[in-house]
Amino acid sequence: MTSTVRDTPLLNVHERLGATMTEFAGWRMPLRYGSETAEHNAVRTGAALFDLSHMGEIAVTGPGAGDALDYAVCGWPSKLAVGRARYTMICAPDGGILDDLIIYRQAPERFLVVANAANAAVVLGELRSRCSGGALVTDESAVTGLISIQGPNGLGFLARVTDIALAPMAYYAGAYGRVAGREAWIARTGYTGEDGFEIFCAPGDCEPVWDALAGSAAGGVPAAGLAARDTLRLEAGMPLYGNELGPDVTPYEAGLGRVVRLDKPGDFVGREALAARAAQGPRRTLIGLLGLSRRVPRHGYAVLSDAGERVGVVTSGAPSPTLGRPIAMAYVAGPANGPFGIDVRGKTEPAEVTGLPFYDRRK
C-alpha cells in the first residue's frame, strides 16, 4: 500500500470484520470478508452490505444545471423529474466513453452525478469545462459516504431503520430521508442485478448507518466486498469501465446505444461522432459467452472462430456462482453467432453465445 492510498469512512468496520483489503482506484477497499461465493449468494438470496464510499460525487446546481448537463453528457438529464435517476455516459468529442454515470435529480436546480472512482477527477474536470457559465460544479466526494444494501430482502432490512416509505419508490428513483437517525439521500439503484438501495450520507454517519443496517436482521446483514460485486455485476451483464467500456469504445459497441439521446435539442459533446457511428453501425459487438468446460476465461483472453482464428477478446470472465459454470463478456468482430472458442492458457475451450444478462431476477 502506498502512502497516497485513501481510506473510506468504514475502515474500522472492515478491520473489525477481518476483511482482506486491496488497493483499488487509489482507495483501500475490502476485497472479501471470508468466502466471496458466500457473499455473492447472500445478495442473490437475501441481502448484503457494500462500502461504495470510493465513488465520486459531483453536484451540478443552478438555474442552468439541466441544460449544462444536456451539453456535457450524451443523455438528457434536463428531462428527469425531481427524485428520478438515469444511467448515462460522458463521451469525448470522438464518441469514446470517458465514464459511465448515474445522474440523480435531487431538486429542480440540483443534480448529483456519480462517477467511477478511477475516473472521478476526469469527470470533474470535464464537467467544469463543459458546464462553465451555465451551472456551478462542486466536488462533493470528500463530504459524501456511500453504503449500498443489495438483495431481495434489502428493502425489509432498510425499512426498519429509515423514515421514508421504500416500497412505493420506483427503480432508479431517490428521496431525502433519515437512516438510523442520520440525514441521507436514499436511492433505489445498484450494480448487482438485484433490487437494492444506495445511501448517500456524511462520512461521519457511515459507521452508525452501517451498524444499524447490519443489525437490522436476526444474525445480521453480512458484508460483501469487491470480488462479489464483480461476479454479481457480470452475471447481470453490467459493463465495467476499463473492461467493457473505455475511450476506444462508443456506447454503440457496448450495446448501450439507448443512452445516446440524438433526439434531444441542441448540441452535446460527441454528438457528431456518435450520430455517424449510429448510422454506420458498430465495428464490434459485445456478447455473452457460456463456458462449456470448467476452465475459466479471464480478461484479455482471445476469442477464436471455429477455424481457430482470433476474432475477439474477453473483457470480463469468472465462475458464475448462480449458474454453476464459467461466464464471460467479450467483444467480437463481424457476426456474433459463433461458434466460438476461448484460448485459456494455450488450450481452446468451447463456449456458446448467449444473450445478456446471464441472470435476470425478473425471470
Give the pLDDT of residue 141. Answer: 98
106 and 162 share a domain? no
66 and 115 share a domain? yes
Q: What percent of the chain has pLDDT over 70?
A: 99
180 and 304 share a domain? no
Q: In whole numbers, what is the pLDDT of the chain averaged over residues?
A: 96
Please write the tens of the pLDDT for every residue from 234-272. 999 999 999 999 999 999 999 999 999 999 999 999 999
136 and 148 share a domain? no
228 and 104 share a domain? no
Which of 259, 266, 346, 264 has its CA nearest to residue 304?
346
Give yes or no for residue 226 having a pLDDT over 50: yes
Q: What is the CATH number of the domain that holds 124?
A: 3.30.70.1400
Please write the tens of the pLDDT for every residue from 89-136. 999 999 999 999 999 999 999 999 999 999 999 999 999 999 988 899
Kindly list the distances between the CA atom of residue 265 and the CA atoms of 74, 167, 197, 301, in Å, as whole numbers in the listed order. 12, 35, 33, 42
Band (pLDDT 50/70/90 cuts) for residue 218 is low
Give the pLDDT of residue 337. Answer: 83
User: What is the CB neighbour count within 10 angstroms for residue 106?
Assistant: 21
Kindly list the distances between the CA atom of residue 89 and the CA atoms of 80, 103, 171, 184, 360, in Å, as whole numbers in the listed order. 15, 10, 19, 25, 23
42 and 157 share a domain? yes
Please write the tens of the pLDDT for every residue from 167-203. 999 999 999 999 999 999 999 999 999 999 999 999 9
Q: What is the CATH number of the domain that holds 218?
A: 3.30.1360.120
Give the pLDDT of residue 139. Answer: 98
- 259 is a domain residue: no
- 102 is a domain residue: yes
316 and 173 share a domain? no
179 and 32 share a domain? yes
Please write the tens of the pLDDT for every residue from 311-335. 999 999 999 999 999 999 999 997 7
Domain boundary among 141, 167, 187: 141
- 72 is a domain residue: yes
Band (pLDDT 50/70/90 cuts) for residue 1 is very low
User: Whole-prediction pTM value?
Assistant: 0.97
Give the pLDDT of residue 246. Answer: 98
Domain boundary among 120, 141, 162: 141
- 197 is a domain residue: yes
217 and 81 share a domain? no
Q: What is the CATH number of the domain that holds 346?
A: 2.40.30.110
Give the pLDDT of residue 3. Answer: 63
175 and 128 share a domain? no
154 and 215 share a domain? yes
Q: What percent of the chain has pLDDT over 90?
A: 94
- Beta strands 97-107 and 340-344 are unpaired
Number of domains in the chain: 3
- 260 is a domain residue: no
CA 10 from centre of chain: 20
Domain boundary among 217, 235, 253: 235
- 66 is a domain residue: yes
- Strands (DSSP E) contained in the chain are 6-7, 20-24, 27-32, 48-51, 56-61, 85-91, 97-107, 110-115, 136-139, 145-150, 174-179, 182-187, 196-201, 285-291, 302-305, 310-320, 325-332, 340-344, 347-354
33 and 83 share a domain? no
* Nearest-angstrom CA–CA distance, 92 and 254: 15
- 166 is a domain residue: yes
DSSP letter string, 175-221 = EEEEETTEEEEEE---SSSS-EEEEEE-GGGHHHHHHHHHTSSTT-P
Range of the domain at 78: 56-141
Give yes or no for residue 228 having a pLDDT over 80: yes
- 317 is a domain residue: yes
pLDDT, greater one: 245 or 4: 245
Please write the tens of the pLDDT for every residue from 33-42. 999 999 999 9
